[in-house]
Structure 1
Amino acid sequence: MGASGEDMGMPGEGMGGDPFAADCRARIAFEVLANRWDSVVVFVLGENGPMRPRALLARIGGLSPKVLNDALRRLEYNGLVERRRYAEAPPRVDYTLTEAGTALLDPIRALGAWAAVHGDAVLAAQDRFEGSRASNA
């Protein structure tokens, strides 16, 4: 793969259509990370290495085992994590990032840096919006 937009599937380049059109590869990235917990799971696995589900729950906090299981299944379906099963008694399972999952760490860190800089402004805008809606009701 080269650095051209066509090789990397950049929006609107080499696709013969509008940016972010239905056939645009950039949509894959947005769809893969659309669920709020998926990027958190990828980040935690990237920072901590292979982990068992209970360890992920403890490290992340704020989500139920079902929500974590759903996230892990989505990430496995999308090829971002690999489920490793060990023939032990009791059975043991852990999850690790694939090459594709590891490649997402830099963009996730960039989003985190953006949120650190602009998060207060976003929250203030949300508060203003909700306040204006309440006063107009």
Structure 2
Amino acid sequence: MPRAARTPEKALADGQSALSRRDYPAAEAAAREVLAARGSPRGYDARFLLADAEFGQRNWQDAAVAYGEAYKANQKGSRAAEALIGFGTSLANLNQRREACDAFGVVQSEYPQLRGALKERLDAGRQRAGCR
């Protein structure tokens, strides 16, 4: 008997669970499954899951693209700063330091009140890229 397809919500939940177990290929597959279902309202979340999975696999170029697409999809969204930080960190890991610092600069100017874990990630990324 054929198995019923997962809903986008179930695929995302499974992908997040895989990500927390550091099963990056499974997280990537779940994200791509949701993205393949064109028009899903969960596409934005799937793009983030894909970016995080690529980052976890050290696929810096693919992670930078996915984080950049997530940012472009919702530049004023609640996760826009997170997308830019991921984008900048991926670029830093590709030794594209000037571009990484530019991305981090956008975060600093658009989100001056950043706190907690995101602020720590921003600071670590800026240090890694050697930003002034």
Smaller-chain TM-score bracket = under 0.3
Structure whose alpha-carbon radius of gyration is higher: 1
* TM-score, normalising length: structure 1: 0.24
Higher strand share: 1
TM (normalized to structure 2)? 0.25
